[in-house]
Amino acid sequence: MTSGPSRNGVQMAHIWPTWTPERDGGRARAETGVGTGRLRAGWVAAAVGAVALATTLGLAVGAVSLPPFAVAAELADHLPLVRLDSGLTTLEADIVWELRFPRVVLALLVGALLSLAGGAYQGAFRNPLADPYLLGVAAGAGLGATMAIVAGFGGGAGTGGATEVALPLAAFAGALTAVSITYVLGAVGARERSTASLILAGVAVASFFTALQTYVQQRNDDTLRQVYAWILGRLGTAGWHEVRLLAPYALVAAVILLAQRRTLDVLSVGDDEAASLGIDPARSRAVVVVAASLATAAAVAVSGLIGFVGIIVPHTIRLLAGSSYRVILPLSMLFGAAFLALADLLARTMLAPGEVPIGVITAFFGAPFFAVVLRTSRRAAS
């Protein structure tokens, strides 16, 4: 295929492999700021290395400190065709595999999903401040999960199959309801959804759903301890139950969102241009929003409310690696996984033997970051 008109050069960069920035002098990229979508091997290696480092530290550091290199050898010893003697005792190996590894894997999955959902929302709404929490999605998921807990579907080791299905589905229904209301309210009285209107709508929706959640809690005070522990965000796990619960939803959401990364590049430059290339903007955006809401709801169902991950990681990737969603989404998954695993490491070691809610850790880093992003966005808009 050949490239289209110069004003549509960005779309060609993402869809037509024969287009290159040099072919039109790079004008399209300069005009829109959208990158060429090349996922460089160096960034992939850095992201995989960050995940490996976060995993090793998460397994090595704790109430019983273990040598990081011995832990790395223990992990490598379980890979095919690799035989290494880690030097760990049987008790130390049990600490790695039975106590710490499920929690680290859960942190990796939750961080990957929240970061992926944040990047996808930003692309779907063409809004740099879009985030699962700022759009009210997490509040909606929280209300759904709270109602599931009150109804007796709180989850936990040894629970039945109905519980494993009910909690994430309740969170998903709440999340999808909240983001739909936010999306509609953000356009009331205006032809387009601006950054300010969308965020204000998200704040309003989040406040409303939080109020409903508080009402449900007060009417069922016997579940207050369980709900409040969940609201603060936690990754405590007694085994692999939470990981098994999250994994199917994570797989479905990740496959759908990664398959839509080229479409998000096209949507980022306008619905009219996307329609001219044969893409249905409304349908594509709906697919992305549903998949991102599923990712958020599944993460919230097992970890509670952990904020700011979906805005910190994608923005950092955008600033450092490029603005194409073919770059942002896969790197956000990997770096988001590493970020939350390291945040969980801080949460369980800062006040050992006590534990800080992981939501407090992410808010400590996320609130200043959000202020910087908001200030930068306002300057760009002016």
Q: What pLDDT does 4 receive?
A: 42
> Is the per-residue pLDDT at 13 higher than 70?
no
Which of 338, 341, 336, 343 has the alpha carbon at shortest distance from 362? 343
Lowest mean pLDDT among 2-6, 105-109, 202-206, 315-319: 2-6
Contacts of 71 (CB under 8 A, 6+ apart): 56, 59, 60, 86, 88, 96
Summarize the confidence of residues 212-217 as an average pLDDT. Answer: 88
**36 vs 327: CA distance, rounded Å:** 9
pLDDT confidence of 36, banded at 50, 70, 90? Answer: low
% of the chain residues with pLDDT over 70:
80
Residue that wins the pLDDT comparison between 29 and 187: 187
Q: What pLDDT does 57 receive?
A: 95
pLDDT digits (tens, 9 = 90+) for 219-251: 887 777 777 766 667 787 657 888 888 899 899
Summarize the confidence of residues 249-256 as an average pLDDT. Answer: 94
pLDDT digits (tens, 9 = 90+) for 152-203: 765 543 344 445 567 778 888 888 898 889 888 876 655 555 656 777 888 8
Question: Length of the chain, please?
Answer: 382
pTM metric for this prediction: 0.80
Residue that wins the pLDDT comparison between 306 and 53: 53
> Is the per-residue pLDDT at 372 higher than 80?
no
pLDDT confidence of 5, banded at 50, 70, 90? Answer: very low
Q: What pLDDT does 194 receive?
A: 60
Q: What pLDDT does 278 receive?
A: 85
**80 vs 189: CA distance, rounded Å:** 60
Q: What pLDDT does 154 receive?
A: 59
**119 vs 310: CA distance, rounded Å:** 7
Lowest mean pLDDT among 29-43, 162-176, 274-288: 29-43
> Is the per-residue pLDDT at 55 higher than 70?
yes
CA angle 41, 45, 51 (to 5 degrees): 145
Q: What pLDDT does 25 receive?
A: 35
Which of 289, 311, 301, 282 has the alpha carbon at shortest distance from 182? 289
CA dihedral 336, 339, 341, 345 (to 10 degrees): -170
**Do the Cβ atoms of 56 and 34 come closer than 8 Å?**
no
Task: Return the percent helix, strand and coil in the chain, to nearest 5.
Answer: 75, 0, 25
Summarize the confidence of residues 134-146 as an average pLDDT. Answer: 84
Per DSSP, helices labelled H in 233-324 are: 241-259, 261-267, 271-276, 281-303, 309-321
Domains of the chain in start order, with CATH, are 1-36 (no CATH), 102-381 (1.10.3470.10)
> Is the per-residue pLDDT at 107 higher than 80?
yes
Residue in the structure block whose two tokens are 């992990």:
75
**85 vs 108: CA distance, rounded Å:** 26
